[in-house]
Structure 1
Amino acid sequence: MTSRRKVVVTGFEPFGEHTVNSSWVAVQELKRLGLGDDVDLHVCEVPVEYQAVQSLLPSLWEEHQPELVIHVGVSGLATTLTLEQCGHNKGYKRLDNCRFCPPSQCCMDEGPDCIRSTLDMDQVCRTVNGGNAGITVSVSKDAGRYLCDYTYYTSLYLGQGRSAFIHVPPLGKPYSSQELGRGLQAVIQEMLKQLKEDHSEEQKKDYCNH
């Protein structure tokens, strides 16, 4: 019997003008849809607070030992599902929901400036856009130096790159909660497929080297 794959997906609580945060609405819709019979999906709402992220993320990785953690956030500028390729360590000057910002303006004092996801976001983007998910996907290398970027960098650091970040537009601009949920499902299933193929390639290499 094959073991089930563990995936954690998070969305954010409301903040600023986003009194309903489409990221958490979309994640709840994804939870309803699921990721397939072989995937254990755990979802979590993340506070828009730097210090909460610093305590919550290590416990998520520790408790669930997931194959992949995906964070979903809202961007008022987004009109597509936007896949972020990397997270950044420095430049956090905006105050969070508690009116706090890190004194050092960075995530990890000893961390590298930028960490890339092990996933090839361009490949995920091409595949999903070539399918019939009914949404458009694009790729970005700047997650915005706020809680989204901060969360992503922290997760990439903890998971050694086995993390992804997806920005979604506000509800109705242009997608409904159902469309966002289906879009997340298509994107994450493609990411899991990519991880499986990468793992198979590694096993083949190990076999050939013996």
Structure 2
Amino acid sequence: MKILVTGFDPFGGEKINPAWEAVKKLPDTIKGAEIVKEEIPTVYGKSADVCKKAIQKHQPDVVLNIGQAGGRFTITPERIAINLDDARIPDNENNQPIDQTIQTDGQAAYFTQLPVKAMVENVKNNGFPAAVSNSAGTFVCNHIMYQVQYMIDKEFPNMKGGFIHVPFIAEQVVNKPNQPFMQISDIAFCIEKTIEAIVNFGDKDDLKAVGGETH
């Protein structure tokens, strides 16, 4: 198995993005799966172009995109991506789409093919907080998750895709009182544990475990 793991560059005035910093720390092999690492820009459209070129070059079985979700306490695999760009802030090339459809011939939403509950359980079983998320937002994180799912739908039907949001790291919250954070080494460890679950489950159905939300 070959897994392409991407992380975004810094955005929103930050000097670092824990997503890419954590991806860089991943081992080159996890449970026998080859790990290919790629940085992608926090830019609508261009992020998908860079990701697609990496897919064409490496022909992965799985694409796992990683992004920063400042304010979240846990490692959160995303369950679904929606066909909507609605930017609260500009991206790194000053694009700020408002209520724009990502792909006119795409589905309203796509569910990940990855075993998100098994991923969460493996992180928790190794001593760190994790939860399934049912909203990837409407910024570039949702955009890339949707775009990869669209590529799967239209061009790469044998590939699987998914997205994980990670918290801030310590240096990002020095001047952000009461914001949760994790150490970068711990984020990398947690991502590794999610990948272990992806490999272990292969084509098996995800766990039937409690993981829903009331609101």
- TM-score category of the 2 structures, normalised to the smaller one: 0.7 to 0.9
* 8 Å contact kept, 1:61–1:159: no
2:184 maps to 1:186: no
In 1: Cα distance, 2:62 partner to 2:162 partner: 8
Q: Following the alignment from structure 1 to structure 2, what is the Cα–Cα distance between the partners of residues 86 and 76?
A: 19
Determine the C-alpha separation between the residues in 2 that align with 1:195 and 1:18: 36
Read off the aligned partner of 1:191 and give its amino acid letter: I
Deviations 1:17-38 (A, max 9, x none): 32211111111111xx334362
% identical aligned pairs: 26
Which residue of structure 1 aligns with residue 116 of structure 2?
121
The structure richer in helix per residue is 1
Q: Aligned equivalents of 2:184 and 2:48: distance in 1? A: 28
Q: Which has the greater radius of gyration?
A: 1
- 1:74 and 2:68 equivalent? yes
Q: Is the Cα–Cα contact under 8 Å of residues 128 and 190 in structure 1 kept in the other structure?
A: no
Q: CA RMSD in A?
A: 1.9
CA contact (8 A) 2:79 2:116 kept: yes
CA contact (8 A) 1:92 1:106 kept: no
Kept after mapping to 1: 8 A contact 2:42/2:140: yes
Task: Tell me, yes or no, if structure 1 residue 84 matches structure 2 residue 75.
Answer: no
State the match for 1:108 in structure 2. Answer: 103
For the Cα contact (< 8 Å) 2:48–2:148, is it kept in 1?
Answer: no
Amino acid at match of 2:48: Q
Letter in 1 for 2:113: T
* Counterpart in the other structure of 1:14: 10
Structure 2 counterpart of 1:59, from 18, 34, 53: 53
Q: Which runs of 4+ in 1 moved over 4 A?
A: none
Deviation at 1:120, TM superposition (A): 3.0
* AA in 2 matched with 1:75: A
Letter in 1 for 2:56: E
* Mapped pair 1:170 → 2:163: no
**Once the 2 structures are TM-superposed, how far is the Cα of residue 162 of structure 1 from its aligned partner?**
1.1
Task: Pick closer, same or farther for the CA change 1:120–1:197 going to 2, 3 Å.
Answer: closer
**Alignment TM-score, normalising by the size of structure 2:** 0.81
**Distance in 2 of aligned mates of 1:59 and 1:104:** 27
TM-score scaled to structure 1, two decimals?
0.83
Structure 2 vs 1, CA of residues 143 and 103 (structure 1 numbering), >3 Å: closer, same or farther? closer
The one-letter code sitting in structure 2 at the alignment partner of 1:108 is Q
Evaluate the alpha carbon distance shift between residue 37 and residue 135 of structure 1 in structure 2; reply closer, same or farther with a 3 A threshold: closer
Amino acid at match of 2:17: N
Deviation at 1:118, TM superposition (A): 1.4
- Secondary structure at 1:144 match in 2: coil
Tell me if the contact between 1:61 and 1:158 (Cα under 8 Å) persists in the aligned partners: no
Q: How many residues align?
A: 190
> Any stretches of 5+ residues in structure 2 without a counterpart?
154-158, 171-179, 206-215
Cα distance, 1:73 vs. partner?
0.4
**Structure 1: stretches of 5+ with no match in the other structure:** 199-210
